[in-house]
Chain A
Amino acid sequence: MSEHENDVSSRGLSSLDRSNLDLETPEKPYLDSNELIINMGPQHPATHGVLRVILKLDGEKVLGTECVIGYLHRGVEKIAENRTYTMFNPYVDRMDYVAAVSNGLGYCEAVEKLLNVEAPPRAKYIRVILTELNRIASHQLWLGTHALDIGAMTPLFYTFRDREEILKIFERYCGARLTTHAFRIGGCQYETYAGFEKEVKNFLAFFPPKIDEYEALLTGNRIWLERTKNVGVISGADAIALGVTGPVLRASGVKWDLRKAQPYAAYSEFDFEIPIGENGDTYDRYMVRMVEMRQSLRIIEQAVNGIPEGPIMGKVPKVIKPPVGEIYHSIEAPKGELGYFIVSDGSTQPYRIRVRPPSFVNLQALDIMVRGLLVADVVAVIGTLDIVLGEVDR
């Protein structure tokens, strides 16, 4: 064990050898050996789902981690091989159940690309509005649970209360709050209900003071700063090497957002900014997400003020049989780059759908981020990565 120890702490990205972590508790008396293997979860109040993290500790310091996932694996990708493209649409929501609308957007756009069909402009605007609302809702859930892990109980209730307004809009639009199935291949199925613009505009007026409220509780608070500054640092180079995307990447200083880099839906028509952090610590990730919420409000405002008239569904055949081929299409989901790789063999059912979930790839960064931190910080870092096990395990 000792020969591997130095390697583990000095090598940057190497994964732990399974034989290295001897998972039985050592027989030596407690004080003599400094190393300890601790198991967190899968049932744990702070792992945001069924995530099992095995920590190797030296006293209080974390030497390395290993994540055991798969407790929520439902075989979604295998199911896709036996469903038609339209039938598979509702399954997609269940992966990242917090940001279901984004999942639907990515899938629909990927299939549309395969079919070489474009959604009409009005549908694109509706898609953007709902996706950005979902981004705000996802970030709110993240904020509440992250603050709760660090010990502040109250922001959870505030964010959930304010999230209700968004969920009400979703419910009025498509009938569901969480797993919305909002979009269809080729556009949207439902026309915006009467009063949709008014309610969205009300939300735009209602929400900025709420963000100020959350920031008043947390941003300047000394305890929050001490718990989040310089905790879980990942450099930009490491983040790119691991394939980390989303706010985690942007907080490390890399200016990469798919909405600007490879625009999809109607994003190229809107004017918004991409927040970037400097240090890549937990505090920067927190600030990046807070600013993203405000920028989402900007996008929604521009979209809602300029929804074009027209059809909401493009020219899509009744039976969707894409030509033989494959496609990879990714969007900027609230948690990072959500990608769909679809292989079609010409029939009504896809040959293979592979989902690139952002949380799955971001979770790899956990190991790097918690090296040298104390055990209490592990919980904070898991929270700051904003993982949803539904999408990690699929």
Chain B
Amino acid sequence: MAPVATPWFFYVLAGLAVASGVAVITRRNAVHAALALIVTLLSVAGLYLMLYAPFVAGVQIIVYAGGIMVLFLFVIMLVNIERSSKERRYNRMWPVGLVAACALMGLFMTAFTKGRSLFPDRMISLPESSNTQQIAGMLYGEAGQMGQYTFAFEIASLLLLVAILGAVIMTKKKI
């Protein structure tokens, strides 16, 4: 399937992601910041779509925007954070932050220019239908053999189960 107006969509989505990312850290109101974070996550899902990874995009929406952000909003609303923060708006250590951010940007630029040969120079046209199947193959195995990451996947799900149980036990008043 021929992509439609790809550079345009990329700039729109990326710009949206960056702008809402900035909004997350500059908004005073916690709920506004959470809403901006949702916009960021949805733009990233769009970027995943453009990379021919529809499954990852779908899971990003379900898990991140639909689950984790709802949790964030619950916590913000239940804990009743005062609307106007009483603290100083910008931290006193902001020069250190600026230096660290510039250093990080310098690292990225270096990696991009020097390591250019590592990135493919033309777009590999992956067939779109393979994303879900490939992920399933890696996680669950195909053609009768165990996948590459099946064991790790099961261990990770056990870890999640332990975390859920721990949360329930820690917050229940009486067992």
Direct A/B contact, Cβ within 8 angstroms: yes
Cα separation A31 to B79 with both chains bound (whole Å) = 7
Contacts of A31 in B (CB 8 A): 78-80
Question: What are 5 residue pairs bridging A and B, where the CB atoms are less than 8 Å apart in the complex?
Answer: A29-B80, A30-B80, A31-B78, A31-B79, A31-B80
The digit string for B67-80, where 1 denotes a CB below 8 A from any CB of A, is 00000000000111
Q: Which of B53-78 contact A (CB under 8 A)?
A: 78
Q: Residue on A with the closest CB to B81?
A: A29
Contacts of B79 in A (CB 8 A): 31
Q: Interface residue count for A (Cβ, 8 Å)?
A: 3
The digit string for A14-41, where 1 denotes a CB below 8 A from any CB of B, is 0000000000000001110000000000
Q: Residue on A with the closest CB to B78?
A: A31
Cα separation A29 to B78 with both chains bound (whole Å) = 10
A-B CB contacts (within 8 Å), total count: 5
Contacts of A30 in B (CB 8 A): 80
Q: Which 5 A-B pairs have the closest CB atoms?
A: A30-B80, A29-B80, A31-B78, A31-B79, A31-B80
Q: Which of B115-155 contact A (CB under 8 A)?
A: none
The digit string for A332-376, where 1 denotes a CB below 8 A from any CB of B, is 000000000000000000000000000000000000000000000
Cα separation A390 to B79 with both chains bound (whole Å) = 44
Q: Which of B71-105 contact A (CB under 8 A)?
A: 78-80
Contacts of B80 in A (CB 8 A): 29-31
How far does the Cβ of A390 sit from chain B's closest Cβ, in whole Å? 43
How far does the Cβ of A24 sit from chain B's closest Cβ, in whole Å? 19
Q: Residue on B with the closest CB to A29?
A: B80
The digit string for A129-163, where 1 denotes a CB below 8 A from any CB of B, is 00000000000000000000000000000000000
How far does the Cβ of B81 sit from chain A's closest Cβ, in whole Å? 10
How far does the Cβ of A26 sit from chain B's closest Cβ, in whole Å? 13
How far does the Cβ of B151 sit from chain A's closest Cβ, in whole Å? 42
How far does the Cβ of B73 sit from chain A's closest Cβ, in whole Å? 16
Cα separation A30 to B78 with both chains bound (whole Å) = 8
Cα separation A29 to B80 with both chains bound (whole Å) = 8
How far does the Cβ of A141 sit from chain B's closest Cβ, in whole Å? 41
How far does the Cβ of B94 sit from chain A's closest Cβ, in whole Å? 30
How far does the Cβ of B129 sit from chain A's closest Cβ, in whole Å? 45
How far does the Cβ of A5 sit from chain B's closest Cβ, in whole Å? 16
Q: Which of A156-172 contact B (CB under 8 A)?
A: none
Contacts of B78 in A (CB 8 A): 31
How far does the Cβ of B74 sit from chain A's closest Cβ, in whole Å? 12
Cα separation A232 to B128 with both chains bound (whole Å) = 60
Q: Residue on B with the closest CB to A30?
A: B80
Q: Which of A294-337 contact B (CB under 8 A)?
A: none
How far does the Cβ of B172 sit from chain A's closest Cβ, in whole Å? 14
Cα separation A30 to B82 with both chains bound (whole Å) = 12
How far does the Cβ of B90 sit from chain A's closest Cβ, in whole Å? 26
Cα separation A31 to B80 with both chains bound (whole Å) = 8
How far does the Cβ of A189 sit from chain B's closest Cβ, in whole Å? 65
How far does the Cβ of A61 sit from chain B's closest Cβ, in whole Å? 12
The digit string for A29-71, where 1 denotes a CB below 8 A from any CB of B, is 1110000000000000000000000000000000000000000
Q: Residue on A with the closest CB to B82?
A: A29
Cα separation A29 to B82 with both chains bound (whole Å) = 10
Cα separation A225 to B96 with both chains bound (whole Å) = 65
How far does the Cβ of A142 sit from chain B's closest Cβ, in whole Å? 38
Cα separation A29 to B79 with both chains bound (whole Å) = 9
How far does the Cβ of A43 sit from chain B's closest Cβ, in whole Å? 28
Cα separation A31 to B78 with both chains bound (whole Å) = 7
Contacts of A29 in B (CB 8 A): 80
Cα separation A30 to B80 with both chains bound (whole Å) = 8
Cα separation A29 to B81 with both chains bound (whole Å) = 10
Cα separation A368 to B78 with both chains bound (whole Å) = 31
How far does the Cβ of A29 sit from chain B's closest Cβ, in whole Å? 6
Cα separation A80 to B30 with both chains bound (whole Å) = 64
How far does the Cβ of B44 sit from chain A's closest Cβ, in whole Å? 33
How far does the Cβ of A119 sit from chain B's closest Cβ, in whole Å? 63
Cα separation A30 to B79 with both chains bound (whole Å) = 8
How far does the Cβ of A174 sit from chain B's closest Cβ, in whole Å? 59
Cα separation A54 to B141 with both chains bound (whole Å) = 62
Cα separation A49 to B78 with both chains bound (whole Å) = 34
Q: Residue on B with the closest CB to A32?
A: B80
Cα separation A30 to B77 with both chains bound (whole Å) = 11
How far does the Cβ of A9 sit from chain B's closest Cβ, in whole Å? 16
How far does the Cβ of A265 sit from chain B's closest Cβ, in whole Å? 56
How far does the Cβ of A298 sit from chain B's closest Cβ, in whole Å? 51
